[in-house]
Amino acid sequence: MSDARDNGEHDKQQTSEAALSARLQRLGERLARDQASRPSDSPGADGGATASGYAKGFRLSSELVAGVAVGAGIGWAIDRWLGISPWGLIVFLLLGFAAGVLNVMRSAGVVPKSRLDGGWDRNEEG
Amino acid sequence: MQLNPVEQFEIHNMMPMVNMGGHQIAFTNASLYMLLIVAVASLLLVGGTARRAIVPGRIQSMAEMFYEFVAHTVQSSAGTEGMKFFPFVFTLFIFVLLANLIGLIPFSFTVTSQLVVTAALALTVFFVVVGYGFYKHGLRFLRLFVPKGVPSYILPAIVVIEVLSFLTRPLSHSVRLFANMLAGHITLQVFAAFIIMLAGFGVLGWFGAVLPFVMVVVLFALELLVAILQAYVFAILTCIYLNDAIHPGH
């Protein structure tokens, strides 16, 4: 009971603060909405590609294949160069696969687009 | 009539070979179509903007639409600073767009269905990004590969994966355009060949040939969409990559 009354007084004291936080929350929501709508016509999701699921699917699959292919190519080249066959191919094929998956997730918008304009740097600075 | 679906991608030499510095330089049908693309683009844009009418004519408003569209794309994905690359992106976009569209004209040759061409374009973009990144930011450009807030014990692996993911860009950039055009043109050719084969069976075949004919019409519309879409995707990916070179750490 008394707790409730205390809380009521508390609320009265903090009305201005509450109003401020409500406004902040609304601003946050609006920013989130704006940011959610923006990627559709800029990096990663690219509006043109999402216009057609065919194009998007093709884009994702080509990202993955490119990752594996580049990894295998680099691994093969390192094997030839250092003569450590087949270890370079094994390691770089796996790393290439990881890079391909990263690319796919990035272009699908699951992970921050790229570390360059993504959240990691901003966290540090912010 | 060619019934072989990949015959359309053959390169023919059209002029006697010229020896230039120990290399044989050939003028092929691909070269011819590239010249044609450049000629059409120049005609369209130079011709369209020659009059500079306040109330634009048909061609002028088309040229203006191209300009505004690409300018908007560059600005939204590479920022205002990216506008210094506008001529580069615009050239790429118009070249790829016209190559795709001219390739859709029956009996013509599709330049972008050659991996050599798309790879050359994608590698140009890649080297422009790397070159401008190092020119603008020096070694700080390498921070691109070092994400912040990652525990130090997995950082080496992450950096290697980031570098690999950066290196895959020219490949996926070029293969996407090339494979789309190649696959689309092969599909069209296969269905068109069905019409001819079925029509060879006589009256009953003619009725059967209606089905692949409908498919060809539908596929052609799809290919038209893909041609424009892939030119746009190529341009916007160029912008995204350029954005990395312009703001590597934000």
Least confident window among A13-22, A63-72, B108-117, B212-221:
A13-22
Average pLDDT over residues B211-223: 91
* pLDDT at A42 (0 to 100): 43
In a domain, B1, yes or no: no
The verdict on a CB contact (< 8 Å) between A120 and B147 is yes
* pLDDT at A113 (0 to 100): 55
**Total domains in the fold of chain B:** 1
Residue A57 Cα to chain centre, angstroms: 18
Q: Closest Cα to residue B171, out of A75, A95, A70?
A: A70
Best probe of the A interface among B81, B162, B164, by most A CBs < 10 A, is B164
Angle, CA A36 vertex, CA A59 and CA A27 arms, to 5°: 165
SS (HEC) of B126-184: HHHHHHHHHHHHHHHHHHHHCCCCCCCCCHHHHHHHHHHHHHHHHHHHHHHHHHHHHHH
Average pLDDT over residues A15-37: 78
Q: Closest Cα to residue B140, out of B239, B250, B33?
A: B250
Best probe of the A interface among B161, B178, B187, B239, by most A CBs < 10 A, is B161
* pLDDT at B206 (0 to 100): 85
In a domain, B104, yes or no: yes
- Residues B48 and B42: their CA atoms lie apart, in Å, by 9
Domain limits, chain A: 1-41, 46-126
- Residues A54 and B184: their CA atoms lie apart, in Å, by 12
- Decide if A69 touches B, using CB distance below 8 A: yes
pLDDT reading at A12 higher than 70 = no
In a domain, B102, yes or no: yes
* pLDDT at A122 (0 to 100): 37
Q: What is the pTM of this model?
A: 0.76
Average pLDDT over chain A reads: 71
The verdict on a CB contact (< 8 Å) between B233 and A48 is yes
Average pLDDT over chain B reads: 88
- Decide if A44 touches B, using CB distance below 8 A: yes
In a domain, B85, yes or no: yes
* pLDDT at B185 (0 to 100): 92
Smallest CA–CA separation between B127 and chain A, in Å? Answer: 17
**DSSP 8-state symbol, A76:** H
In a domain, B89, yes or no: yes
- Residues B70 and B96: their CA atoms lie apart, in Å, by 13
pLDDT tens readout for residues B7-50: 888 888 877 777 777 777 888 888 999 999 999 999 989 888 88
Domain that holds residue B46: 7-246
The verdict on a CB contact (< 8 Å) between B243 and A115 is no
- Which residue on chain A is closest to B76 by alpha carbon? A42
The verdict on a CB contact (< 8 Å) between B144 and A69 is no
In a domain, B51, yes or no: yes
Q: Are B74 and B239 in contact (CB under 8 A)?
A: yes
Best probe of the B interface among A42, A56, A61, A116, by most B CBs < 10 A, is A116
- Which residue on chain B is closest to A54 by alpha carbon? B226
* pLDDT at A20 (0 to 100): 83
Least confident window among A25-34, B72-81, B90-99, B124-133:
A25-34
Residue B233 Cα to chain centre, angstroms: 8
- Residues B238 and B241: their CA atoms lie apart, in Å, by 5
* Residue B11: how many other CB atoms lie within 10 Å: 13
- Decide if A107 touches B, using CB distance below 8 A: no
Q: Which of helix, strand or coil describes residue B21?
A: coil
Give the alpha-carbon dihedral of B218, B222, B228, B229, to 10 degrees.
Answer: 160
The verdict on a CB contact (< 8 Å) between A58 and B176 is yes
- Decide if A115 touches B, using CB distance below 8 A: yes
Average pLDDT over residues A29-38: 71
Residues 24-43 of A with CB under 8 A from B: 41-43
First-to-final CA distance of chain B: 57
Whole-number CA gyration radius for chain B: 22
The verdict on a CB contact (< 8 Å) between A116 and B76 is no
* pLDDT at B87 (0 to 100): 94
- Residues B66 and A105: their CA atoms lie apart, in Å, by 31
In a domain, B111, yes or no: yes
Q: Are B247 and B85 in contact (CB under 8 A)?
A: no
Q: Are B129 and B242 in contact (CB under 8 A)?
A: yes
Distances (CA, A) of A31 to A25, A36, A37, A116, A118: 10, 8, 10, 21, 16
